[in-house]
Structure 1
Amino acid sequence: MKLLRYGPPGQEKPGLLDAEGRIRDLSAHIPDIAGDALTPAGLARIAALDLDGLPIVSGQPRLGACVGHVPKFVAIGLNYADHAAEAGLPVPTEPVVFSKWTSCIIGPDDDVVIPPGAQKTDWEVELGVVIGQRASQLAEAAALDHVAGYCVVNDISEREWQAERGGTWDKGKGFDTFGPIGPWLVTRDEIPDPQALDLWLELDGRRCQEGSTRTMIFGVAEIVAYCSRLMTLLPGDVITTGTPPGVGMGQKPPVFLRGGEVMRLGITGLGEQRQRVRRSD
């Protein structure tokens, strides 16, 4: 299934994308694509609905983030060796874990806003993993059983705040609008191998990033199991799993977002995002 949320910011309704690309309204059956709806039992109830009986949503409504009420937005850094190389950093021997504040989450086609005074705002196409079952101290062999599905994430990053202002990476990762998620949550049954997905990102029509989850240093199962040893994972938690090479700081000379650009990005089977960049100052 391809699950989504549509409507104005803060008023999103749950929906499902049918085989013809039409949005079907789920709001008579579940309150949101969140919490219990993402558990195995919740997804089974949605899958059992009569699809043809669900109302068709007319027009082209705005899409919100494909997961609502996200408890935690966890991120993995430097998870592609060639991206670590372009960043001038050693390949990690354990996953690099940081947080993105949930207040940064926006829809897949909403504007990305450069924060006041920022000069090094960057892009990162990533595979997002949505947790579907409460989990702690998981074995790697059981990790994927606790995944509800997958989505596209653009891990927008302000590099000066990330690397030059002291402290942790979190400073540069959670500004408002720095977490576009969606367009859809594609359930795990439709993605048999999360390590066989192609990722790409274009800036103003120029292909900047192109990679594959095959080249991850730490695969999805290992990441989920590792995170479950650091924290209790909850239904609706989002883990974004790192980016392939081609980010702005890796260009020679570096290229950062200034405002006015359009980013377009996607992952095999998970849909595409499109964001216009604007400045707040």
Structure 2
Amino acid sequence: MKRYKILSCIIAVLTVMGACKKEEAYLEKSDSKENAVVYVSRKANAQKIIVYPAKDTVVSYDFGASFAAVGLPLNNITVRFKIDDKAFDSVNVVRTSQNLTPYSKLPESAYTISALDVTISSGAITSNLASLKYNSKNLDPNKVYMLPISIVDASGYKINPSLKTMFITTVKYKAPEILADRTGWALSASSTQAGDGSLASVIDGDLATFWHSQYSPTVLPYPHWIQVDMLTLTNVTSISMAPRNNNNTGFTKFNLKGSIDGSVWTDLLTAKAMDPNLKALQNYELDAPTKVRFLKLEMTEGPQDYTHLAEFQVFKVK
């Protein structure tokens, strides 16, 4: 028993000594760059700028850099940031491929940055902070903005590639929407198949009814269209559509145009995808609320030459 206690004491002492040595290693200053990285502080990695409600006041937040290694830096580390145009373009290429609205670059007139150089001091793991200040009165609440700021140099230390950029973004303001009243709306179409659905079915609120383009005595090919007269100027924010619920041969691509007078048309949505297999309302948001009286749904592609539609809804803001 006595020997067991002595052995236990020895193991305990060795464990404490090992822990002390490990702790000392993490506290030791070194100028070695092996296995050491510099990165954007996690807190600043994804910042959101508030653009609504607009306030005529300057808003500020801070950002900086951090150091990671076994040990602490022996010398000061100067970390240089820059506005990263290449990252901006790369993100927009991806957004465009996903049919998302590309970011606008945060305008230089809307913000100031106190410095693009910060310093991680000897023996520290975080830098001093730089400040970005902006005024939301200088920003359009209907746009989505982005400003990527990347580390480009860290006194020879490796920069973590996945944490080198701070993406400052805005979220487009979305006003509370209401479903537009469809009472009395006037409809027209490129064609309607007699005896198989009706044009009025697309605004009757019943997903079981539908409109069908002409397929007899001859099939009329794409493009097909439906035009809606909402009778008054309407500040349109989005539309919702539902395909025919007992058939999946409807259109798969469409455009949406808007007009104030029914003569001059503006593109509101272009080359959007519609899923004829999803038997529910599918929503499509405009880039910004747009005042129009007339809407024209242009159906451009589908598995058959004909097409059909169960429901067409419009959402608006006052």
Q: Which has the higher contact order (CA 8 A, sep 6+)?
A: 1
TM range (shorter): under 0.3
Q: TM-score, normalised by structure 1?
A: 0.23
User: Higher strand share goes to which structure?
Assistant: 2
